[in-house]
C-alpha cells in the first residue's frame, strides 16, 4: 500500500485531534500497517498520517465483494428498497414537500425512497460512476444523481431541508471538510441524519482488533466526539438513537445562525 511509503521518518509522530484540537494525542493501535492515534479528551481514534485523496479514490469504487454474481449495490435490490423505505419513513416530516439529499448515496435507494415518499426534489451524490448509473436506470426518474465529490457539488449552489449520509464519514480523508460541506448544503433550521459505526458502543465496546481495516476506515468515532464534531460545524444534535448494533444514528439540526 502506498500509505506505508508516505509515512517516512520525516512525518511527525502525532498531530492534534482533528475534532477537539487536543494536542496531546497518543499512539493507539496499528492496523494493516497504518498508525492510529487517539485523543484522550474526546476519544477519537484517527489514522495518521491521512491517506491522500489519490490513495482513497479506488476504494470508493469497490463497495463490497460480489455476492450472487452481483456486487453491492446491485444485489438484493428489493430488500434494499424496503430498508430504505423504512428509514425514509422515520424522517418523513423533514423532507415531504421539501428538498433532500443523500451524500455518498451508493445505489441511490434512500434518494429513491425520499422521492417516492413525497420529497419535492431528491438528490444523491456519490463518487462511484457505476452506482450512479445504476441509480439513474433503476429508480424514480424524478430524482437526480451526480457522480461528484461534495466539494464540487457545493459549487452548484443548491441547498436542502434534509441531508442524509450513511456509513460514509468513517471512510473519508478530511472529515472536517466533509462535515463543513454538509453545513453548506443544509439550510439553517434544516435537519441532517448520520449513520456511522460507534466504537464505544455500550455493548460491543472498544475492541480495536475487531474493527474493520484501514485504509477503507480512516477514523473511528464515538457518541462523545460525533456530538462535538456536529456542533463545531454549526449543527445542534437533536437525538442519538438507541441501537443494539455497534452503530450510531444521529439526528442534528443546522443552527439558524
Ligand atoms: Zn479530541
Q: What is the CATH number of the domain that holds 74?
A: 3.40.50.150
DSSP H helices, the chain, are: 2-6, 53-56, 77-90, 92-95, 109-116, 129-138, 150-154, 175-185, 223-232
Beta partners for residue 35, in sequence order: 30, 48
Q: Given this model, what pLDDT does residue 67 score?
A: 44
The rounded Å distance from CA 23 to ligand 1 centre is 8
| Residue 154, domain member (yes or no) | yes
pLDDT given for residue 213 in this prediction? 86
Percentage of the chain modeled with pLDDT above 90? 73
pLDDT at position 61: 64
DSSP letter (8 states) at residue 212: P
Q: Which residues keep their CB under 5 angstroms from ion ligand 1?
A: 17, 19-20, 22, 39, 41-42, 44
Q: Is pLDDT at 226 greater than 80 in this prediction?
A: yes
Rounded distance from Cα 154 to ligand 1 centre (Å): 27
Q: For residues 119-132, b (16+ Cβ closer than 10 Å) or e, as one string?
A: bebbbbbbbbebbb
In a domain, 11, yes or no: no
CB–CB of 238/251 below 8 Å? yes
Residue 226 included in any domain: yes
pLDDT confidence band for 206 (50 / 70 / 90): confident
**Is residue 129, in this structure, part of any structural domain at all?**
yes
- DSSP secondary structure letters along 21-83: --S--EEEEEETTEEEEE-TTT--EEEESPPPHHHHGGGGG--S--BTTB-TTSSSHHHHHHH
State in Å: Cα 131 to ligand 1 middle.
Answer: 34
Question: How remote is the CA of residue 36 from the centroid of ligand 1, in Å?
Answer: 13
Cell (9 digits) for 124: 444523491
pLDDT at 211: 85
Tell me, in angstroms, the distance from the centre of ligand 1 to residue 159's CA. 30
Looking at residue 63, its pLDDT comes to 52
232-235: long-range pairs with CB below 8 Å, 24+: 232/19, 232/176, 232/179, 233/176, 233/179, 233/180, 233/182, 233/183, 234/183, 235/182, 235/183, 235/186, 235/192
The CA 25 to ligand 1 mean position distance, Å, reads 8
Asked, for residue 126, whether it belongs to a domain, the answer is: yes
Quote the radius of gyration of the chain (alpha carbons, Å). Answer: 18
Q: Do 217 and 246 touch, CB atoms closer than 8 A? A: no
Residue 72 pLDDT exceeds 90? no
pLDDT tens track for 119-156? 999 999 999 999 999 999 999 999 999 999 999 999 99
Ligand 1 geometric centre to CA of 187 (Å): 27
Ligand 1 midpoint to CA 178 (Å):
17
- Separation of 117 CA from ligand 1 center, angstroms? 39
Which pTM was predicted? 0.90
What is the SS3 assignment for 137? Answer: helix
203-224 b/e (C-beta count within 10 Å ≥ 16 → b): eeeeeeeebeebbebbbbbbbb
Structural domain that includes position 74? 58-254
- For residue 55, how far is its CA from the centre of ligand 1 (angstroms)? 25
Give me ligand 1 centre to Cα 24, in Å. Answer: 9
**Within a 10 A sphere around the Cβ of 56, how many other Cβ atoms?**
18
168 C-alpha to ligand 1 centroid (Å) = 20
The tally of domains found in the chain comes to 1
Count the Cβ atoms, other than its own, within 10 Å of residue 180: 17
Cα separation of 212 and 66, whole Å?
18
Q: Is the distance from CB of 25 to CB of 2 less than 8 angstroms?
A: no
> What is the CA 44 to chain-centroid distance, rounded?
16
Taking alpha carbons only, the member of 36, 38, 61, 63 closest to residue 51 is 36
Amino acid at each position: 500500500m502506498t500509505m506505508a511509503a508516505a509515512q517516512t521518518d520525516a512525518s511527525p509522530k502525532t498531530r492534534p485531534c482533528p475534532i477537539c484540537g487536543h494536542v496531546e494525542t497518543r499512539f493507539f493501535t496499528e492496523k494493516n500497517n497504518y498508525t492510529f492515534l487517539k485523543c484522550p479528551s474526546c476519544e477519537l481514534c484517527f489514522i495518521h498520517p491521512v491517506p491522500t485523496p489519490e490513495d482513497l479514490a479506488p476504494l470508493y469504487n469497490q463497495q463490497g465483494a460480489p455476492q450472487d454474481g452481483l456486487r453491492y449495490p446491485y444485489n438484493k435490490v428489493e430488500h434494499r428498497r424496503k430498508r430504505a423505505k423504512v428509514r425514509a419513513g422515520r424522517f418523513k416530516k423533514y423532507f415531504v414537500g421539501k428538498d433532500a439529499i443523500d451524500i455518498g448515496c451508493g445505489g441511490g435507494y434512500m434518494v429513491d425512497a425520499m422521492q417516492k415518499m413525497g420529497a419535492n426534489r431528491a438528490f444523491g451524490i456519490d463518487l462511484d460512476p457505476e452506482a450512479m448509473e445504476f441509480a439513474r436506470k433503476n429508480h424514480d426518474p424524478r430524482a437526480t444523481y451526480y457522480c461528484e465529490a461534495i466539494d464540487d457539488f457545493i459549487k452548484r449552489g443548491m441547498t436542502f431541508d434534509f441531508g442524509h449520509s450513511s456509513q460514509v464519514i468513517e471512510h473519508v480523508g478530511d472529515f472536517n471538510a466533509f462535515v463543513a460541506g454538509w453545513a453548506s448544503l443544509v439550510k439553517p433550521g434544516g435537519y441532517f441524519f448520520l449513520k456511522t459505526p460507534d466504537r464505544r458502543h455500550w455493548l460491543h465496546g472498544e475492541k480495536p482488533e475487531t474493527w474493520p481495516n484501514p485504509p477503507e476506515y480512516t477514523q473511528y468515532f464515538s457518541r462523545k466526539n460525533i456530538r462535538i464534531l456536529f456542533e463545531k460545524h454549526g449543527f445542534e444534535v437533536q437525538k442519538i438513537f438507541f441501537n443494539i448494533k455497534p452503530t450510531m444514528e444521529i439526528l442534528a439540526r443546522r443552527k439558524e445562525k
